[in-house]
Amino acid sequence: MRIAVTGGNGKLAQAVLPWLIAQKHELLVNDRSQQAQDKPFPTTTYDLSTHSGAASFLSACHKHLGPMDALINLMGFLSTQPAFSFTQTHFRKEMEINLYAPFMLMQQIEQDTLRVAAPFSLIHFTLCQANKVYRKIVFHAIAKNGLESLCLSYNKRYKATGRRCFCVRLPDMQKQALQENLTHALARILQNPAAEPAVIKTLCRAE
């Protein structure tokens, strides 16, 4: 499959990229940290929270991959500061990475449907926290809940086209367990996207 990946240097990417490579998927990975050099796949470094960055990334995907079968969004930012201790910078970063950047990707895909195959899966992965921690990270919760609502709206709009959006929340666990849960959920979606629910909370019982 032809798959684009964002958040190429984060914890989730480190868990899933080896599996994607082993499955021999054709990849393009966006990594703003520019630390994905000397990897067995092409990389880009676009700022996906901007209109031009999202558009340029999808153009690069089309150039390297052709029509995509899936886009896996692994971007994420989490500040554990209490809500009323947030600075404007923290708030903006939380929203830009966790909500606005995914929205920009969804909007750009909507504007140029030739860049995606049919069927097509847009898959957002995020980490969830223990209940005591989660109550403190108000803006993170707002962003992730907003993303889930966008995902449901996307699926309603494109129900007849074979395009599907998913939000998968995974518990923040040790690397091996995280990799097993992530790849299991991803394999199910890629194999039969029509059979999977739009919002998947894998072992996130505390929420």
Confidence of residue 132 (pLDDT cuts 50, 70, 90): very low
Quick one: pLDDT at residue 202?
A: 66
The whole-number pLDDT of residue 141 equals: 78
19, 179 Cβ separation under 8 angstroms = yes
pLDDT score at 11: 86
- Mean pLDDT score, 44-69: 92
End-to-end CA distance of the chain: 33
Q: How many CB atoms lie within 10 A of CB 40?
A: 7
SS3 letters for 60-122?
Answer: HHHHHHCCEEEEEECCCCCCCCCHHHCCHHHHHHHHHHHHHHHHHHHHHHHHCHHHEEEEEEE
What average pLDDT score do residues 12-28 get? 94
The pLDDT assigned to 191 comes to 93
Checking if the pLDDT of 33 tops 80, the result is: no
- Ranges 11-15, 62-66, 88-92, 182-186: which has the least confidence: 88-92
Say how many CA atoms lie within 13 Å of 45 toward its Cβ: 6
Q: How far is CA 87 from CA 20, 95, 98, 168, 185, in A?
A: 37, 13, 17, 28, 35
Mean pLDDT for the stretch of residues 3-30: 93
Q: What is the pLDDT of residue 136?
A: 56
- Tokens representing residue 171 in the block: 């518990």
pTM for the predicted model, two decimal places: 0.88
Which whole-number Å values give the CA distances from 69 to 52, 66, 91, in the listed order? 22, 9, 33
Per-residue CA distances from 32 to 8, 26, 49, 95, 197 (Å): 8, 20, 11, 17, 30
Which CATH number is 2-201 given? 3.40.50.720
The lowest-confidence range among 8-17, 76-85, 141-150, 167-176 is: 76-85
Please tell me which residue, 203 or 199, carries the higher pLDDT value.
199
Residue 203 has pLDDT above 50, yes or no: yes
Among 3-12, 18-27, 142-151, 160-169, top mean pLDDT goes to: 18-27
Structure confidence at residue 139 as a pLDDT band (50, 70, 90): confident
User: Residue 129: its pLDDT value, please?
Assistant: 60
